[in-house]
């Protein structure tokens, strides 16, 4: 099983921005999608499980058009509607693990007011959060510009950046806890947390509460954060590089830590340390590559031992539901 199966995103546009009121808009989106796929061609290929490679014969991606019988503003105005967000994201990728499954699915949903939702769902096998953003922004640029602007980024060049080193597949993170007892003092907060860290801390604390209730015992836990490697190593990994270009950063929490702020501090501190570490390594030499691999292997290790693994920084809220 692979972990965090897909990367998903839904964007909403009110009608003046990209009104698909004229029948030409939809074909335009489809056409620009085709153009961007010629440059990011692995997305249109198929994943071959046996060789952990992508067969690129332009097999294509999913492009779905849907209509909803509601106005965009009526949808967005109610917080209750958050539970329907998934309806704007297509799902037909990698479900059956068949080689025929596309690696990327897109869905354009039109509202009766002319507003539009663009939903994207891509396999995490070759796409990380940054890659998804690059894809979406390049699609937008290609769609917007009358005159073709060539995508000049390195695209899917990650196999050159990080040659394969025999790590075949990712472990599936599980909700477990270890019972190692290790007491550490708390420190006073001097950190600026990111929103992701603060939200992760809240979720982490909630999970610890659930665990306590379930086992009637307060246990230690660990949280794993993904750290984008682009721009963080001693050698340049271009921002628009595509692929899975991240390392992992594991944070431990002992039972003495109770406050959400303290958890957020820990998350922030360990990311800082990890980033400092990465900044000393080069992606183009073995030492740097091993540093990144080690962070992933050590997670594989601890997931068997049994920590909590909630990869934040991941735009995949599904993960938490599926645990």
Ligand X SMILES: *[C@@H]1O[C@H](CO)[C@@H](O)[C@H](O)[C@H]1NC(C)=O
User: 6 vs 131, which CB is nearer to ligand X?
Assistant: 6
CB burial readout 190-227, b (16+ within 10 A) else e: ebebbebbbebbebbbebbeebeeeeeebbbbbbbbbb
Orientation angle between helical segments 260-279 and 286-305, nearest 10 degrees: 150
H-assigned helices in the chain: 15-18, 25-39, 72-76, 129-144, 158-161, 195-215, 260-279, 286-305, 318-322
Supply the minimum distance, in Å, between the C-beta of residue 91 and ligand X. 3
Supply the minimum distance, in Å, between the C-beta of residue 104 and ligand X. 10
Q: How many CB atoms lie within 10 A of CB 232?
A: 19
User: 114 vs 313, which CB is nearer to ligand X?
Assistant: 313
The answer to whether 257 and 305 have CB atoms below 8 angstroms apart is no
User: 114 vs 249, which CB is nearer to ligand X?
Assistant: 249
**CA dist., res. 302 & res. 314, Å (int):** 20
Supply the minimum distance, in Å, between the C-beta of residue 291 and ligand X. 6
Instruction: Give contact residues for ligand X (rule: CB under 6 A).
Output: 5-6, 8, 86, 89, 91-95, 121, 154-155, 157, 160, 188, 273-274, 277, 291, 297-298, 301
User: 4 vs 72, which CB is nearer to ligand X?
Assistant: 4
Q: At 253, which helix (H) or strand (E)?
A: strand 246-253
Q: How many CB atoms lie within 10 A of CB 159?
A: 12
Q: Which residues on neighbouring strands pair with residue 223, listed in sequence order? A: 251
Supply the minimum distance, in Å, between the C-beta of residue 216 and ligand X. 26
Q: Which residues contact 107 (CB under 8 A, 6 or more apart)?
A: 62, 63, 64, 65, 66, 88, 89, 90, 117, 118, 119, 120, 121
Q: Exposed/middle/buried for 255, CB within 10 Å: 0-12, 13-18, 19+?
A: middle
Supply the minimum distance, in Å, between the C-beta of residue 70 and ligand X. 19
User: 154 vs 171, which CB is nearer to ligand X?
Assistant: 154
Residue nearest to ligand X (CB): 91
Supply the minimum distance, in Å, between the C-beta of residue 30 and ligand X. 20
User: 15 vs 151, which CB is nearer to ligand X?
Assistant: 151
| Nearest in space to 250 (alpha carbons), one of 263, 238, 233, 267 | 267
N-terminal to C-terminal alpha carbon distance within the chain? 14
Supply the minimum distance, in Å, between the C-beta of residue 281 and ligand X. 8
Supply the minimum distance, in Å, between the C-beta of residue 152 and ligand X. 8
User: 6 vs 110, which CB is nearer to ligand X?
Assistant: 6
User: 130 vs 277, which CB is nearer to ligand X?
Assistant: 277
């Amino acid at each position: 099983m692979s972990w965090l199966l897909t990367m998903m995103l839904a964007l909403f546009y009110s009608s003046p921005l990209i009104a698909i009121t004229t029948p030409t808009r939809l074909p335009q989106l489809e056409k620009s999608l085709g153009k961007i796929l010629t440059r990011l061609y692995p997305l249109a290929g198929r994943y071959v499980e046996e060789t952990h490679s992508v067969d690129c014969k332009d097999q294509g991606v999913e492009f779905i058009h849907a209509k909803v019988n509601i106005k965009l503003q009526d949808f967005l105005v109610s917080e209750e509607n958050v539970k329907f967000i998934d309806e704007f994201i297509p799902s037909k990728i990698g479900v059956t693990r068949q080689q025929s499954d596309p690696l990327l699915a897109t869905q354009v949903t039109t509202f009766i007011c002319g507003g539009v939702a663009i939903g994207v769902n891509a396999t995490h096998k070759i796409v990380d959060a940054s890659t998804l953003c690059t894809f979406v922004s390049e699609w937008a640029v290609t769609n917007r510009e009358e005159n073709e602007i060539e995508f000049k980024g390195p695209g899917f060049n990650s196999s050159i950046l990080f040659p394969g080193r025999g790590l075949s597949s990712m472990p599936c993170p599980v909700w477990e806890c270890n019972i190692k007892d290790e007491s550490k003092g708390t420190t006073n907060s001097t950190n600026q947390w990111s929103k992701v860290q603060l939200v992760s801390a809240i979720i982490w604390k909630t999970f610890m509460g659930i665990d306590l209730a379930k086992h009637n015992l307060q246990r230690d836990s660990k949280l794993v954060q993904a750290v984008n490697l682009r721009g963080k190593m001693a050698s340049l990994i271009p921002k628009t590089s595509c692929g899975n270009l991240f390392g992992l950063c594991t944070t431990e929490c002992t039972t003495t830590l109770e406050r959400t702020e303290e958890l957020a501090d820990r998350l922030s501190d360990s990311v800082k340390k990890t980033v400092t570490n990465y900044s000393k390594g080069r992606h183009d030499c073995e030492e740097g590559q091993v540093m990144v691999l080690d962070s992933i292997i050590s997670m594989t290790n601890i997931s068997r031992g049994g920590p909590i693994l909630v990869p934040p920084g991941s735009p995949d809220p599904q993960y938490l539901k599926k645990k």
